[in-house]
Chains A and B, each alone.
Chain A
Amino acid sequence: MPFGVSIPSPPPTYLVHHLACWFQVSNKCWIHNGLSGFVPAKRRAMVLPLRASFWDSIKSGFLKNNNSTQVVEPPSTFMEEEDPFPQDIVLLEKNQPDGTFEQIIFSSAGDVDVYDVQALCDKVGWPRRPLTKIAASLKNSYLVATLHLISRSPGTEGIDQKQLIGMARATSDHAFNATIWDVLVDPSYQGQGLGKALVEQLIRVLLQRDIGNITLFADNKVVDFYKNLGFEADPEGIKGMFWYPRY
């Protein structure tokens, strides 16, 4: 199966917090999108809440949160208030028996190398597509979300392994509708609830951006998976149709 129908046995362990402490790391690991060079600096700002001013945090709280009367908490939760819309979220953290520290990180920044994408598609068994087309499809997507596994081995200070283990993207008209395509999870990491987390976070970002109509086309075998995430098939009898599909 190309995509993890994650029938998660244990519920996913969610450690959702900001990536402030990893900014240094991410500078080294998240090099560039394969074809278009370094990510512009302004995107990095979203991942760096360290120096945000107190007044910025209050302002963003008022403008973006629903509970505008929310009191800004004392410093212990200050980090949470600073950046209400982080691009990167740590989903899982684990210390391996051999001392390796691992994190699985969701990102909506779309920093992804086309070669990594192709490798992931290979792993899930998809037929090969031209790299230029993959690159174009990513560039023209409204949102590209990724799951990366970051591994830090003991004794290799500052040098991390970064591996793309999941991806999903959405096309959109930037105003009303979005359609989710190509939800992929590396088979070695399926069964842990990562596919679920990936789609949930993707939905979260789309809703934050005020895209009200989120759609997708689901293979028969994964309809239930998406139902559990809040999707409805044939709402009000509306049918998904395709132009001359290959049977």
Chain B
Amino acid sequence: MQSHGVLLPLRGPSSSLSLSRHLRRQLTLTSFHSSKASTRPRRLLLPVASAAFTVSDGELETRGFRVRRSSDGLDVAALNDVFARVGFPRRDPDRLRRALGHAGGAVVWVEEAKRGGGPGKPVAFARATGDGVFNAVVWDVVVEPSLQGMGLGRAVMERLVAELRRRGVSNIALYAEPRVVGFYRPLGFAADPDGIKGMVYSRRNQKKR
């Protein structure tokens, strides 16, 4: 993934509201205690339509890519193919469908327009889980390898984040392999803020009592 090198917050009418690193938000994390804020600034909900993405839906359309914002019409087998080509494990299709269908989740994907119409294959994808009000976690961000470096990964991430923020979710997290930390940074993500660590459970790690 090419990093653009510059921290680019989402542009748009709300840019007058500080979107800098000092944007005050409350984190709801395991054991994280934000300082008491008796008054919290009202957050301006960023409507998806007026958010200025790096590349607009229309521009993507002219290049033959259609932005999709739900899992309707998503070819799960084709998505599994993309997973395999980027080195992710293939998922059981039924479980993948279940993951895509559950309430509270958000999905953004890019469809490669097929000549003559009809459903096209997914070439970029990202999904998020969460509670719909406080926290969200982004999973399975992939771009078809032959189409990487064109901004499609950025396109799905910008839109997914915009959708989550539109819903009022203030805490958006993800787990990044070392080689893609640089991809997420210009999108506004920071690693280990305040020393907070992402952790994963491993059965073999459990200490015997």
Interface residues in chain A, defined as those with a beta carbon under 8 Å from any beta carbon in chain B? 1-3, 5, 11, 124-127, 129, 133, 136-138, 140-141, 169, 171-177, 179-183, 203, 207, 213-223, 225-247
Contacts and interface: CB of A to CB of B under 8 A. Distances in A.
Interface of B: 9, 19, 21-34, 36-37, 40, 91, 95-96, 98-99, 102-105, 127, 129-135, 137, 139, 161, 171-178, 181, 184, 187-203, 205-207, 209
A216 B196 CA distance: 10
A137 B195 contact: no
Contacts of A203: 201
B133 A137 contact: yes
A109 B21 CA distance: 39
A78 B91 CA distance: 39
Given A3-B30, A242-B173, A176 B99 contact: yes
B104 A223 contact: no
B24 A246 contact: yes
Contacts of A213: 200-201
Main secondary structure of the interface of A (DSSP, over half): mixed
Nearest to A182: B28
A239 B176 contact: yes
B156 to A, nearest CB: 14
Contacts of B22: 246-247
Contacts of A228: 207
B149 to A, nearest CB: 21
A242 B172 contact: yes
A173 B192 contact: no
A150 B32 CA distance: 28
B201 A230 contact: yes
A171 B131 contact: yes
Contacts of A177: 129, 137, 139
Given A1-B33, A246-B27, A231 B201 contact: yes
B38 to A, nearest CB: 8
Contact of B198 (A11, A172, A233, A245): A233
Contacts of A218: 29-31, 196-197, 199
Nearest to B169: A243
A58 B70 CA distance: 43
Contacts of B176: 238-239, 241
A45 B188 CA distance: 47
Contacts of A244: 9, 19, 21, 23, 25, 188, 190
Given A213-B200, A217-B32, A245-B27, 18 more contacts: A5-B31, A127-B34, A140-B133, A173-B99, A173-B102, A181-B134, A214-B201, A216-B198, A219-B29, A219-B32, A223-B199, A231-B199, A232-B205, A234-B197, A245-B193, A245-B194, A246-B27, A247-B194
Nearest to B202: A232
A215 B127 contact: no
A234 B105 CA distance: 25
Given A3-B31, A181-B135, A238-B198, A217 B173 contact: yes
6 contacts: A137-B132, A173-B98, A179-B129, A215-B198, A223-B199, A243-B171
Contacts of B29: 181, 217-219
Contacts of B95: 175-176
Contacts of B40: 127
Nearest to A176: B99
A242 B27 contact: yes
A239 to B, nearest CB: 4
A222 B29 CA distance: 12
Contacts of A129: 26, 28, 134
A35 to B, nearest CB: 14
A235 B194 CA distance: 19
Contact of A240 (B25, B134, B198): B198
Contact of B25 (A171, A207, A245): A245
B28 to A, nearest CB: 6
A220 B195 contact: yes
